[in-house]
Chain A
Amino acid sequence: MSDTNKMTLIASKGTFDWAYPPLILASTGVAMGKEVSVFCTFYGLNLLLKDLSNLRISPQGNPAMPMKMPFGPKWFQAINFGPKIPNIMWNIPGLELFATSMMKKTMKNNGVATIEELREICIEMGVKFIACEMTIGLFGYSREDFIDGIEYAGAATYLDTAHHSTQDLFI
């Protein structure tokens, strides 16, 4: 494959919502004939964990997040509770889990694929995932925590791959 068809991404975030952009772009990239590699570093390592069920969204310090309920009558679903709830409320234990489950329900209602589905398709279609060896050590992970079929490397490997790509994104 020619160099002009290479795409490289850095996935650096590990919350439930931020798991989506790299997986969506990587899967669409391979579908469009690109050779895609995703370098997962710091919290982006979460994308490669065997168990993705612990990923959460955090409304804490995230005033941009719309808060709409995925159930009830239409007028109720249209209310954006985001600006109405003081941010300090999100300190209450359990609310983060509640917000995450509301987000999952909203996504299901909107026909958005799950993270697991998107990652599965990425792997099936040949996206190359590279786990950052340094952050694995830093966060005390072991290779058993991650899915099979990924590579382990460092910054130099990423830079070498990105050197030959025409699309390079930091997420």
Chain B
Amino acid sequence: MSHQTLDMSGHNCPMPILKTKQALTAMNAKDTIEVICTDKGSTKDFIAFCNQTGSVLISHREQDNYFIFHIEKS
């Protein structure tokens, strides 16, 4: 199991989702990724994305205008 971080701060919809998808494609099952966003719509979008794709949104939090998502590839 490996872990990586993807910093998408400053990028707007839909780039954080697209880059996350590309990163997930290259990962193995149970690998995790932390995505850092500044896009205000990203919380709802990441919940919807994980809902549709079956990836597990382990946690998400907001911290000083950053939105941080912790996702596990299923």
- Chain A residues at the B interface, C-beta cutoff of 8 Å: 24, 27-28, 30-33, 110-113, 117-118, 121, 124-125
Are A24 and B53 within 8 A (Cβ)? no
B21 within 8 A of A: yes
Measured between alpha carbons, how far is A77 from B25 in the docked complex, in Å? 40
B15 within 8 A of A: yes
Are B53 and A33 within 8 A (Cβ)? yes
Q: How large is the interface on B (under 10, 10 to 19, 20 to 34, 35 or more residues)?
A: 10 to 19
Q: How far is the CB of B51 from chain A (nearest CB, A)?
A: 9
User: For residues 38 through 54 of chain B, which have their beta carbon under 8 Å from a beta carbon of chain A?
Assistant: 38-39, 48-49, 52-53
Are B11 and A125 within 8 A (Cβ)? no
Measured between alpha carbons, how far is A110 from B11 in the docked complex, in Å? 7
B17 within 8 A of A: yes
Contact among B12, B38, B53 with A32 in the assembled complex (CB-CB below 8 Å): B53
Which chain B positions have C-beta within 8 A of A30? Answer: 21
Q: How far is the CB of B61 from chain A (nearest CB, A)?
A: 21
Are A113 and B17 within 8 A (Cβ)? no
Are B12 and A27 within 8 A (Cβ)? no
B13 within 8 A of A: yes
- Chain B residues at the A interface, C-beta cutoff of 8 Å: 10-15, 17-18, 20-22, 38-39, 48-49, 52-53
Measured between alpha carbons, how far is A24 from B17 in the docked complex, in Å? 11
Are B21 and A111 within 8 A (Cβ)? no
Are A31 and B15 within 8 A (Cβ)? no
Are A31 and B18 within 8 A (Cβ)? yes
Q: Which residue of A lies closest to B50 (CB)?
A: A32
Contact among A31, A33, A110, A124 with B14 in the assembled complex (CB-CB below 8 Å): A31
Are B52 and A112 within 8 A (Cβ)? no
Are B15 and A111 within 8 A (Cβ)? yes
Are B18 and A28 within 8 A (Cβ)? yes
Are A125 and B21 within 8 A (Cβ)? yes
Q: How far is the CB of A45 from chain B (nearest CB, A)?
A: 23
